[in-house]
Amino acid sequence: MLQKFVLNKYILAMKKVNNCKKPYVLTAIALLFVATFVTACSSGDSEDEKPQASEGFLKCKIDGTPRVFNYQVGANDKPDDFNAIHFVTVGGLETNDPRTSPGFDFQLISDEGAKETTYTAANESGPDLTGQYYVQTSTGTTSYMGNGNSGTSFTLTITSITNWGVKGTFSGVLKSNDVFVTVTDGEFAAPYNKN
């Protein structure tokens, strides 16, 4: 519809300009309409080609409290086109100070290659999957980990793997010493690190 409108406008303009004695006006108008027509006719980008936000996000609830780890969110380095993605690593911080900020990260290692599916840490019988929430203080770092051992769990659902990065959801039960925390409603979109 837009293409037909632009073409009709071009024809009308050309009829008016045909009586014009200045050839540069005709050329300028013709170029303007051709540019408009080409822009209007361009096809839409495929999902992988669309520009996406360069910044990602990582959020969840820890023991029912919403937490946002949107600083320095990133995934592993971008894989090359010839190999399967054998690992997915995603992490983020609550503040922009990596020395003192609480953070959340997880890593999946898959011999078969990571795919858009759900993975569950299951002791030594499942995929190599670990989720970690850590709190840094002046006296050290306390890490809560979930990998399917000692009453812990971690589930990762990859919903998208593209040239931009990785997106999905996560949840689990993480442990530090004898203290457990429950992670729910986890979501992330992490761009690959820049090479």
Q: What is the pLDDT of residue 81?
A: 64
The CA distances from residue 130 to 6, 80, 81, 159, in Å, are 57, 24, 26, 18
45-103 pLDDT, tens digit each = 333 333 334 579 999 999 999 999 999 999 988 776 656 677 899 999 999 988 889 99
Q: Hey, what are 39's tokens?
A: 């822009």
Exposure string over 42-51, b if 16+ CB within 10 A, otherwise e: eeeeeeeeee
Give the model confidence (pLDDT) of 141-158 as tens digits. 999 999 999 999 999 999
Q: How many CA atoms lie within 13 A of 181 on its CB side?
A: 23
pTM as predicted: 0.69
The predicted structure's pLDDT at residue 122: 76
